[in-house]
Amino acid sequence: MSATRLHVRKGDRVQILSGKDRGKKGKVLRTFPRKNKVLVEGINMITKHARPTQKIPQGGIREMEAAINASKVMVICPSCQQPTRLFHRALENGKKVRGCKKCGEYIDK
């Protein structure tokens, strides 16, 4: 299975398009390109039962984020604060950047 590219990157602010958390916003903590999934802060919370260890001597039930499909998130433009689709451009110096289709500003500086 080859690695695929995602339209979101670590650190992007995104809005959830569908599911139980539809409309919520959060920051991308981690991406999983091979699985086409992203981990978003405060989204898709699950409960996990943890056995007591030396790190967590208390153990018990913890709440944590679970990965969500990347197609269910849309990047929020830092300039216009709107969820938007992205365009990709190569600048004169050869650097590739992403941009907002609504306001035309580049997201990657």
In the prediction, which pLDDT does 5 show? 86
pLDDT at 89: 92
In degrees, rounded to 5, the angle at the alpha carbon of residue 82 between the alpha carbons of residues 77 and 88 is 40
pTM for the predicted model, two decimal places: 0.84
Beta-strand (E) ranges in 1-109?
A: 13-16, 25-32, 37-40, 45-50, 60-65, 68-69, 73-75, 86-90, 96-100
How many helices (DSSP H) and strands (DSSP E) are in the chain? 0, 9
Distance CA 95, CA 10 (A): 18
* Cβ-based burial of 28 (10 A; exposed 0-12, middle 13-18, buried ≥19): buried
> In this predicted structure, what is the pLDDT of residue 108?
82
pLDDT tens over the chain, length 109 residues: 556 789 999 999 999 999 999 999 999 999 999 999 999 999 999 999 999 999 889 989 999 999 999 999 999 999 999 999 999 999 999 899 999 999 999 998 7
Residue 77 DSSP class: P
Return d(Cα 88, Cα 96) in angstroms, integer.
7
